[in-house]
């Protein structure tokens, strides 16, 4: 099949969605499909994915600093190329790219599917703009999609309840992990050496975008409580800044944490894996996380994880009990589970073993790509 993947940006600097699309394209190509990715070029100068066997069309992105990722040349590109594809896969919901792709997909009769990747709820910021988009485009975008992909049962419910999508058009397909990246793992001590952290110091790691939705401020406050008991504990906060870094630095200073908190900046590929390996526990306490790859990556690196009990990862891992779970914003509970994760070695090892088994059996990209392939075949063969 000739497959077109559409998203507003395609740089590892921009987080999990770009990574998911990159891995999806690689594995679909390995299965014999002709894949093209079209996206904006935002942050390509800072970080880019390695070349793959698929095509990348990166168009000039403007107004991206304000979060709009507008690519005006996409209109002409879609007009000239959409008819040559068998199926289109749109990523996220409220984007300029999706509005353009929908228009030309309908004009040329090319079916499209859409993965929301957690962007369905109207939360956090630009709420008015999101509601206007839904009124003008969003609801029509979902109504015209041949299938809608949810990364969890939780997101499937959001399609049904927030947008009245019928059950028959929803497919639950998890985000995958490329298991080859975890063998072999980096040697222990690389991150600690870089940041000057003693090998014996307990290390708590946050890795992800520095955004207020991630709940990093609550982690810093819980860490301050934890450090009153174990003074040599270190908190490393790693990831690209999305407006939260200055606030976190002020908070750490106000709590008099000194060099107990280290800001490592963005980490990618082997540096990211090295951070997981060096950590004694990885904390992802965010207020809203529909799926989240970080906990699963950490488990594959042998590190226990602390996650928000309302997150998508928590729901996925619920039956396996492969993570320490805590309600969002409960500082006392977060402090307690961080302490347990650092001191209860037997329980942490049990959780890691269970988490690794879950990832190997449920999140391997080779199996996930087969599900995506089946979805495309279904919509291509379903007619108008």
Q: What is the pLDDT of residue 287?
A: 67
Confidence of residue 317 (pLDDT cuts 50, 70, 90): confident
Residue 67 has pLDDT above 80, yes or no: no
Q: How far is Cα 199 from Cα 192, in angstroms, rounded to an integer? A: 7
Averaged pLDDT, 4-10: 96
- What CATH number does the domain containing 138 carry? 3.40.50.2000
Residue 384 has pLDDT above 60, yes or no: no
Q: Each residue of 181-218: pLDDT tens digit?
A: 999 999 999 999 999 999 999 999 999 989 888 999 99
Q: What is the mean pLDDT of the chain?
A: 92
Q: Each residue of 21-32: pLDDT tens digit?
A: 999 999 999 999
Verify that 227 and 325 share a domain, yes or no. Answer: yes
Q: What is the pLDDT of residue 329?
A: 85
Q: What is the pLDDT of residue 348?
A: 96
Averaged pLDDT, 11-37: 92
Verify that 164 and 218 share a domain, yes or no. Answer: no
Share of residues in the chain with pLDDT > 90 (%): 74
Verify that 135 and 263 share a domain, yes or no. Answer: no
Q: What is the pLDDT of residue 124?
A: 64
Verify that 293 and 170 share a domain, yes or no. Answer: no
Confidence of residue 103 (pLDDT cuts 50, 70, 90): very high
Q: What is the pLDDT of residue 383?
A: 59
Verify that 194 and 327 share a domain, yes or no. Answer: yes
Number of domains in the chain: 2
Q: What residues make up the domain containing 200?
A: 180-362
Residue 90 has pLDDT above 80, yes or no: yes
Averaged pLDDT, 343-358: 95
Q: What is the pLDDT of residue 336?
A: 96
Helical residues (DSSP H) of the chain, grouped into ranges? 16-30, 74-81, 96-108, 127-133, 139-144, 153-163, 190-195, 216-229, 245-254, 269-278, 294-300, 312-317, 331-343, 345-362, 365-380
Q: What is the pLDDT of residue 119?
A: 83
Q: How many CB atoms within 10 Å of residue 215?
A: 23
Verify that 147 and 232 share a domain, yes or no. Answer: no
Axis-axis angle for helices 16-30, 365-380 (nearest 10): 80
C-alpha distances out from residue 187 to 62, 197, 201, Å: 41, 15, 17
Q: Each residue of 273-293: pLDDT tens digit?
A: 999 999 999 999 886 677 788
Residue 18 has pLDDT above 70, yes or no: yes
Provide the 3-class DSSP secondary structure of residue 9: coil
Residue 148, class by beta-carbon neighbours within 10 Å (0-12 exposed, 13-18 middle, 19+ buried)? Answer: buried
Q: What is the pLDDT of residue 15?
A: 73
Among 87-101, 314-328, 335-349, name the one with the lowest average pLDDT. Answer: 314-328
Question: Dihedrals φ, ψ of 303, to 5°?
Answer: -115, 130
Verify that 143 and 247 share a domain, yes or no. Answer: no
Verify that 114 and 240 share a domain, yes or no. Answer: no
Averaged pLDDT, 217-235: 94
Q: What is the pLDDT of residue 316?
A: 80
Q: What is the pLDDT of residue 30?
A: 94
Residue 339 has pLDDT above 60, yes or no: yes
Verify that 211 and 86 share a domain, yes or no. Answer: no
Verify that 150 and 201 share a domain, yes or no. Answer: no
Check residue 70 and report its DSSP letter.
B
Q: Each residue of 41-64: pLDDT tens digit?
A: 998 888 888 887 899 999 999 987
Averaged pLDDT, 233-261: 95
Residue 123 has pLDDT above 80, yes or no: no
Q: Each residue of 243-253: pLDDT tens digit?
A: 899 999 999 99
Verify that 191 and 143 share a domain, yes or no. Answer: no
Residue 305 has pLDDT above 80, yes or no: yes
Q: What is the pLDDT of residue 268?
A: 86
Verify that 276 and 200 share a domain, yes or no. Answer: yes
For the record, the structure tokens of 248 come out as 């976190």
Residue 338 has pLDDT above 90, yes or no: yes
């Amino acid at each position: 099949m000739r497959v077109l993947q559409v998203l507003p940006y395609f740089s590892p600097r921009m987080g999990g969605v770009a990574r998911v699309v990159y891995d999806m394209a690689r594995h679909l190509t390995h299965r014999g499909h002709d894949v093209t990715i079209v996206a904006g070029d935002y942050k390509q100068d800072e970080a880019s994915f390695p070349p793959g066997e698929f095509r990348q069309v990166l168009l000039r992105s403007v107004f991206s600093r304000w979060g709009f990722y507008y690519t005006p040349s996409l209109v002409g590109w879609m007009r000239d190329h959409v008819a040559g594809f068998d199926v289109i896969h749109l990523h996220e919901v409220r984007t300029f790219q999706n509005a353009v792709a929908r228009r030309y997909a309908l004009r040329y009769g090319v079916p499209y599917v859409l993965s929301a990747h957690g962007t369905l709820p109207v939360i956090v910021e630009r709420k008015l703009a999101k509601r206007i988009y839904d009124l003008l485009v969003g609801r029509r975008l979902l109504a015209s999609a041949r299938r809608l992909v949810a990364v969890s049962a939780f997101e499937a419910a959001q399609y049904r309840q927030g947008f009245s999508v019928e059950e028959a058009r929803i497919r639950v397909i998890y985000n995958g992990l490329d298991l080859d990246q975890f063998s072999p793992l980096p040697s222990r001590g690389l991150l600690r050496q870089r940041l000057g952290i003693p090998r014996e110091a307990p290390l708590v790691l946050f890795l992800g975008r520095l955004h207020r939705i991630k709940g990093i401020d609550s982690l810093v406050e819980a860490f301050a409580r934890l450090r009153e008991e174990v003074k040599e504990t270190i908190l490393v906060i790693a990831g690209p800044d999305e407006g939260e870094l200055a606030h976190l630095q002020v908070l750490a200073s106000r709590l008099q944490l000194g060099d107990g908190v280290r800001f490592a900046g963005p980490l990618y590929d082997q540096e990211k894996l090295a951070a997981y390996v060096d950590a004694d526990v990885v904390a992802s306490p965010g207020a809203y996380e529909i799926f989240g790859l970080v906990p699963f990556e950490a488990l594959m690196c042998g590190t226990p994880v602390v996650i928000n009990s309302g997150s998508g990862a928590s729901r996925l891992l619920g039956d396996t009990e492969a993570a320490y779970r805590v309600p969002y914003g409960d500082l006392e509970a977060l402090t307690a589970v961080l302490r347990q994760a650092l001191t209860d070695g037997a329980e942490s090892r049990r959780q890691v073993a269970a988490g690794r088994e879950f990832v190997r059996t449920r999140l391997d990209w080779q199996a996930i790509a087969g599900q995506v392939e089946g979805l495309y075949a279904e919509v291509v063969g379903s007619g108008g």
